[in-house]
Amino acid sequence: MTQPQHPHDSGADGRQIQLETHGLDVIGDADRKGTPRTLFWPWFGANVSVLGLSYGAFALGFGISFWQALAAGVLGIVASFLLCGLIAVAGKRGSAPTMVLSRAAYGVRGNRLPSVVSWILTVGWETVLASLATLATATVFSRLGWGGGTETKAVALLVVAALTVVGGVMGFDLIMRLQTVITVITGVLTLVYVGLVADHVHWPTVSAIPAGSPQQFIGALVFMMTGFGLGWVNAAADYSRYLPHSSSSRGVIGWTTLGASAAPLLLLVFGLLLAGSSDELSHAIAADPIGALTIILPTWFLVPFALVAVLGLVGGAVLDIYSSGLALLSAGLHVPRYLAALVDGVLMIAGSLYIVFFGGAFLGEFMGFLTTLGVPIAAWCGVMLADLALRRRDYDEGDLFRPDGRYGDARVLPIVLTVGATLIGWGLVTNTAAGWLDWQGYLLGPLGLGGRSGQWASANLGVLVALALAFLGTLPLGRNRVRQQEALPPSPAPAPGMYGA
């Protein structure tokens, strides 16, 4: 995903790419252009990655049938990206980054807690994507007989990290131009990949996969939500903030949801057919989600496949590092945006080194990462959605940066709701493939759900419960607070030095 594009962003005016110096700035009226329709292609381009094919194996890994996995995937993808669309409305109403806009609910400095969680999630995602790109390159080189060992992985990680960090540090102009190239190349080559491996689909084998339990279906649904929209929701307004205040809210929601969902839905269907046709392929994807897809490819297409895989993953990582830098600034770090992105790049490289060289089986760690951070992000999302639903006026841009303004310094209720919903949520999720998460699931026994080894253990209800509790708690209890905020007259515009608040 990326920001809406208008003529001055596309490079059509011939201007050179420059280092972006904006950080948490509110976008001025003169720079707010475009229509909600322009959100479709950036969101589409950021989510057309061959990783979407691997989610077919991930879903079937819950022990469910093709039709159950398809239903879980469609519901999970569309519902989670619908949450992104709803949050994106805040961008055009406030013209500031997502984790600045949520200060209206949490208070200017109280919002640092969810900002830190958002930062960890985006750094984690960029690390995952960089690691997958590295592993995929090593697999392709190994099949071609060009190496594939430690040296290949080291060089591949160096190239992937350089592309990602340079894009994130340079910022908006370079990201927009990279995204245009990545969208075209990955879109075309992904279609070629589908055509080349279509004969490996064996429908009788796929249709014979037995159905799983309702709990297994829910587990797959939650995994799809955390793997797709809930991984972007904390940055959704970063990209709609360039739209005019008068833009249609329904248009923002619709074009964001459609653009983000279209490619993953198509890729998921084909991924389910491929994984369901071959147990060998399905198991291989668990260890190397992108590289395993080369098993069924002709040799001549391996290099183009490596290109499409790396570009698609780097495209997502670049956008994550951009948003993670903004989240770090919102958490209270007072440095220029490009330095925050550079800090995140260093952490991404360190995390990628661990995953690529010491991490072992990928899928277990990946699922653990998604469910663990998916719980507090779902709680934040519930608070943010309820707060946004209560508002009838645009955000007061100046007070988003004033601890003594209408939004306050630290709001106790939203913080308590978020922490409480997170603690309850962690008590209702498990991940046996990641040993460092053995402490989770502590409420499954006391609530009569069979404990950590019962049927409900793999359902990961905690993500949905955290979202619902935070939303339903904020909606009635936050009404008076929002009405009092909106009754105050507009405050002065923020001074340039206030953006680091």
Q: Taking 90 as the threshold, does the pLDDT of residue 323 lie above it?
A: no
CA 462/CA 375 separation, integer angstroms? 6
Task: Taking residues 394-406, report their average pLDDT.
Answer: 93
- pLDDT of the residue at 211: 96
- pLDDT of the residue at 389: 96
| Closest CA relative to residue 122, chosen from 383, 326, 353, 414 | 326
pLDDT class of 141 with cuts at 50, 70, 90: confident
pLDDT class of 382 with cuts at 50, 70, 90: very high
pLDDT class of 332 with cuts at 50, 70, 90: confident
Calculate the alpha carbon distances from 302 to 54, 293, 313 in Å.
17, 10, 16
- pLDDT of the residue at 7: 33
- pLDDT of the residue at 151: 87
Q: Taking 90 as the threshold, does the pLDDT of residue 355 lie above it?
A: no
Residue 200 or 188, more confident: 200
Range of lowest pLDDT (18-32, 35-49, 94-108, 310-324): 18-32
pLDDT class of 9 with cuts at 50, 70, 90: very low
CA 288/CA 308 separation, integer angstroms? 16
At 215, phi and psi to the nearest 5? -65, -40
pLDDT class of 176 with cuts at 50, 70, 90: low
pLDDT class of 173 with cuts at 50, 70, 90: low
Q: Taking 90 as the threshold, does the pLDDT of residue 59 lie above it?
A: yes
Percent of the chain at pLDDT > 90 equals 49
CB count within 10 Å of CB 357 equals 13
Mean pLDDT, all residues of the chain: 87
Range of lowest pLDDT (119-128, 347-356, 428-437): 428-437
Task: Taking residues 159-169, report their average pLDDT.
Answer: 83
CA 211/CA 217 separation, integer angstroms? 9
Q: Taking 80 as the threshold, does the pLDDT of residue 427 lie above it?
A: yes
Range of lowest pLDDT (23-27, 125-129, 264-268, 415-419): 23-27
Place of tokens 């903004």: 326
Q: Taking 80 as the threshold, does the pLDDT of residue 103 lie above it?
A: yes
Calculate the alpha carbon distances from 121 to 175, 318, 418 in Å.
20, 14, 16
pLDDT class of 68 with cuts at 50, 70, 90: very high
> Residue ranges of the domains in the chain?
29-500
Residue 313 or 275, more confident: 275
Task: Taking residues 132-146, report their average pLDDT.
Answer: 86
Whole-prediction pTM value? 0.87
- In tens, the pLDDT along 263-297 reads 899 999 999 999 999 999 998 887 778 888 888 88
CA 108/CA 30 separation, integer angstroms? 26
- pLDDT of the residue at 10: 40
Is 29-500 a CATH 1.10.4160.10 domain? yes
CA geometry: angle 51, 38, 239, nearest 5 deg: 65
pLDDT class of 438 with cuts at 50, 70, 90: confident
Residue 366 or 75, more confident: 75
Task: Taking residues 189-196, report their average pLDDT.
Answer: 88
- pLDDT of the residue at 225: 95
pLDDT class of 367 with cuts at 50, 70, 90: confident
Contact 207, 58 (CB under 8 A): no
- pLDDT of the residue at 12: 38
SS3 annotation, 26-85: CCCHHHCCCCHHHHHHHHHHHHCCCHHHHHHHHHHCCCCCHHHHHHHHHHHHHHHHHHHH
Q: What is the dihedral of CA 384, 386, 387, 393, to 10 degrees?
A: 120
- pLDDT of the residue at 381: 97
Range of lowest pLDDT (23-32, 154-163, 334-343): 23-32
CA atoms within 13 A on the CB side of 120: 12
Range of lowest pLDDT (194-203, 258-267, 282-291): 282-291
Residue 62 or 176, more confident: 62
Task: Taking residues 350-374, report their average pLDDT.
Answer: 80
R_g of the chain computed on alpha carbons: 22
Percent of the chain at pLDDT > 70 equals 92
Task: Taking residues 458-467, report their average pLDDT.
Answer: 94
Residue 466 or 433, more confident: 466
- pLDDT of the residue at 264: 93
Secondary structure of residue 487 in the 3-state scheme: helix
Q: Taking 70 as the threshold, does the pLDDT of residue 8 lie above it?
A: no
Q: Taking 50 as the threshold, does the pLDDT of residue 14 lie above it?
A: no
CA geometry: angle 171, 174, 177, nearest 5 deg: 140
Q: Taking 90 as the threshold, does the pLDDT of residue 207 lie above it?
A: yes
CA 41/CA 50 separation, integer angstroms? 17
CA 394/CA 390 separation, integer angstroms? 11
